[in-house]
Chains A and B, each alone.
Chain A
Amino acid sequence: MVVCILLQSTILNRVAIRGVRPDLALIVLIFVSMRRGPMVGQVSGFATGFLEDMMNVSPLGFHSLLRTVIGYVYGLLSGNVFIDPFLMPIVLTVIATILKGILAGIVSAVFGLAASGFITFTGRLWIEVGYNGVIAPFLFALLNLFKMFKQADKEGA
Chain B
Amino acid sequence: MPGLFEGFFARHRKGATLAVLVLVSFVCLMISSRTLVIRPKEIGLSAAGFFQKGFSGFFAWFGDTVGSIGQLQAAREELAAARERLQEMDQATREVLELRRQNEALRQQLDFAQTLAPERIPAEVIARDTDNLFSTITINKGSRQGVKKGMPVVAWQGDIEGLVGKVVLVGPGTSEVLPLYDPQCMVSARVDSTRDEGLVLGEGKDRGTLVMNYVKKIAKNKITYGDLVVTSGLGGLYPKGINVGRIRDITAPTYQTSLVLRVEPIIDFDRLEYLFLIGPEPDNPAPAVGQQAPPAAPVAK
**Chain A residues within 8 Å of B, Cβ to Cβ:** 5, 8-10, 13, 16, 18-21, 23, 25, 37-39, 42-43, 46, 49, 52-53, 55-65, 68-69, 72, 75, 104-124, 128
Residue interface bits B154-196, CB-to-A below 8 A is 1, else 0: 0000000000000011000000101001111000000000000
Given contacts A52-B130, A111-B29, A111-B37, contact A122 B205 (CB under 8 A): yes
B129 touches A107 (CB 8 A): no
B25 touches A46 (CB 8 A): yes
List residues 36-69 of chain B with CB under 8 A from any CB of chain A. Answer: 37, 43, 46-47, 49-50, 53-55, 57-58, 61
B61 touches A57 (CB 8 A): no
Q: How far is the CA of A19 from the CA of B203 in the complex (A)?
A: 14
Q: How far is the CA of A53 from the CA of B133 in the complex (A)?
A: 12
B135 touches A56 (CB 8 A): no
Given contacts A9-B127, A46-B21, A65-B26, contact A106 B47 (CB under 8 A): yes
Q: How far is the CA of A64 from the CA of B32 in the complex (A)?
A: 13
Other A-B contacts than A9-B128, A58-B134, A111-B35, 16 sampled, CB-CB below 8 A, are A18-B206, A19-B135, A23-B132, A49-B25, A55-B130, A61-B24, A61-B29, A64-B28, A65-B26, A72-B18, A109-B46, A110-B47, A115-B183, A116-B183, A117-B204, A123-B205
In the complex, 13 of the A-B residue pairs with CB atoms within 8 angstroms, ordered by the A residue number, are A8-B130, A18-B206, A18-B207, A57-B136, A62-B25, A69-B22, A105-B54, A110-B43, A113-B33, A116-B134, A121-B53, A121-B54, A124-B205
**Which residues of B lie under 8 Å from residue A62 when comparing CB positions?**
25, 29, 133
Name, among B28, B35, B133, B207, the residue most crowded by chain A CB atoms within 10 Å (CB to CB). Answer: B133
A107 touches B29 (CB 8 A): yes
**Which residues of B lie under 8 Å from residue A107 when comparing CB positions?**
29
* B126 contacts A by Cβ under 8 Å: yes
B207 touches A19 (CB 8 A): yes
User: Among the listed B32, B128, B129, which residue makes an inter-chain contact with A60, where contact means beta carbons less than 8 Å apart?
Assistant: B32
Q: How far is the CA of A55 from the CA of B134 in the complex (A)?
A: 12
Task: Decide if the interface of chain A is mainly helix, strand, loop or mixed.
Answer: helix
* B84 contacts A by Cβ under 8 Å: no
* Total contacting residues, chain B, CB less than 8 A: 56
User: Among the listed B27, B53, B58, B129, which residue makes an inter-chain contact with A57, where contact means beta carbons less than 8 Å apart?
Assistant: B129
**Which residues of B lie under 8 Å from residue A63 when comparing CB positions?**
131
B21 touches A68 (CB 8 A): yes
- Closest beta carbon of chain B to A69's beta carbon, Å: 7
A10 touches B126 (CB 8 A): yes
* B202 contacts A by Cβ under 8 Å: yes
* B269 contacts A by Cβ under 8 Å: yes
User: Among the listed A57, A65, A105, A116, which residue makes an inter-chain contact with B168, where contact means beta carbons less than 8 Å apart?
Assistant: A57
CB nearest to A117 among chain B residues: B133
